Amino acid sequence: MRLKDNPFLILIPLIFLAFLSLFFGSAGMDREIIFKIRLPRVLLAIFAGGVLSFVGATLQGLLENPLCDPYILGIASGATFGISLSFLFGSFSYFFIPIFAFAFSLISLFFVYILATISGRIQKLSLILSGVLVSFLFSSLSILVMVLSKKQLSQIIYLIMGNLSLLFTPLTLWIFLLTVVISIFLLFLLFSYAKELNILATGEEQAVSLGVDITNLTKVVFIISSLLVGFVVSFVGSISFVGLVVPHLARLFFGFDHRKLLPASFLFGASLLLVSDIFARTIAPVELPLSVITAIFGVPFFLYLLRKLK
């Protein structure tokens, strides 16, 4: 079987990377550390990288814009605002931050939805514009809150860049696993719209004439994508680059059919984030911001593939 036909073959490198990630680290091969620290982290990397890339591919298809990333709908900025707001209440327990972030990503989703709905219909352009608008609003508010809460700039940068160094407690682990289960269900729902996303590439009017219910499609995909991005951002902050570039990477290998592209994006994204995380954890004695690593290693790789496969 050719690689081109079966995106699930990426599972092989992904599993390999997951094991590598489990056994690599400054603290050696302690059983305790592998199971309690690295295993949740590996799951987090697969979850975040996979979901961001999957949603990135979906939104690029839905909005017919190859420059879309999962954050274009303004969800991440809402979550960031939630996180920064939780800093303002100094005594606020750290373990509630994901919940706070998710609550605010829901609020920004609601804002975008209201803004983008024009006479009962959501249109692509108004969706993008509302997303950008809400994004600007919440980013500014976040900065404002951060200045008021006397946070150091380096901390703000870490917050914005995203990282996988979530401190798990048994409770957060359960919340996370529950989120993963819900996300798998939502991903499956999005995947069920793969054919519609394919047809959208032929233009909106032809899609309508073929029997695609565009209004419904836009609404459902927008809401599910937003929820998924809200989940990810709540746990790891906004990791950039992955959701934008991995779908293009997947297209280079598997073509444009969303039925192959979406799972391929998930697996590629998960792998890329695992690799980046291994580097972020081991390259220096201190932990490096993840987005920096994803971009530094992702960009040359992507350029190479682009030249080679074109």
Partner 1 sequence: MKIKNYQPLIKFLATISLLLLFPLCTAPPKKKASYRVISLVPSITEIIFALGKESLLVGNTVYCDYPEGAKRIYKVGDFMNPSLEKIVALKPDLVFLTLPTQRIIYDKIQHLKIKTFVSQPRNFDGLLREIKEIGKILGAEKRADSLIAEMTEGMKEIRFPAMRIYVEISVQPLISIGKNSFLSDLLERRSLQNIFSDLDEEYPVVKIEDIIKRNPEIILILHPQVKREDVKKRMGFEEIKATKESRIIDDINPDLLLRPGMRILTGLRQLRDEIKR
Partner 2 sequence: MNLLSLRNIVFSYNGKRLFHQFSLDIPEGDFLGIIGPNGSGKTTLLKLIAGILKPSKGEVTVSGENLLCLRPKERGKLIGYMPQESHFLWNFSVREIVLMGRYPHHKRFEREGKDDFEIADWAMRMTNTFDLKERGINNISTGERQRVVLARVLTQKPKILLLDEVTSHLDIGQATDILRILQELNRWKKITCLFSVHDMNMAMLVAKRILLLSKGKAVACDIPEKVIQPELIKEAYDVTPIIGTHPELNIPWVFLNL
Q: Find which of partner 1, partner 2, none residue 202 binds, CB within 5 to 8 Å per kind.
A: partner 2
Which segments of the chain are extended strands (E)? Answer: 117-118, 121-122
Compare residues 37 and 129 and give the one whose CB is closer to partner 1.
Answer: 37
Give the span between the Cα atoms of 183 and 307, in whole angstroms. Answer: 35
- Is residue 264 a contact partner of residue 250, using CB atoms and an 8 Å limit? yes
**Minimum CB distance to partner 1, residue 27 (Å):** 4
Give the span between the Cα atoms of 38 and 61, in whole angstroms. Answer: 34
Compare residues 66 and 300 and give the one whose CB is closer to partner 2.
Answer: 66
Which distant-in-sequence residues (6+ apart) come within 8 Å of 230 by Cβ? 75, 78, 79, 101, 102, 105, 106, 109
Region binding partner 1 by CB under 8 A among candidate stretches 60-68, 103-111, 184-192, 281-289? 281-289
* β-bridge mates for residue 122, sequence order: 117
Please give the single-letter amino acid code of residue 291.
Answer: S
Q: Does 211 engage in binding with partner 1 (CB under 8 A)?
A: no
Q: Does 163 engage in binding with partner 1 (CB under 8 A)?
A: yes
Please give the single-letter amino acid code of residue 34.
Answer: I
- Is residue 222 a contact partner of residue 277, using CB atoms and an 8 Å limit? no
**Minimum CB distance to partner 2, residue 184 (Å):** 16
**Rule CB under 8 A: which residues touch partner 2?**
61, 64, 66, 192, 195, 198-199, 201-203, 205-206, 208-213, 251, 255-257
Q: Does 147 engage in binding with partner 1 (CB under 8 A)?
A: yes
Footprint of partner 1 on this chain (CB under 8 A)? 25-28, 30, 32-33, 36-38, 40, 83, 87, 90-95, 97, 147, 150, 152-155, 158-159, 163, 165, 167-171, 173, 281, 285-288
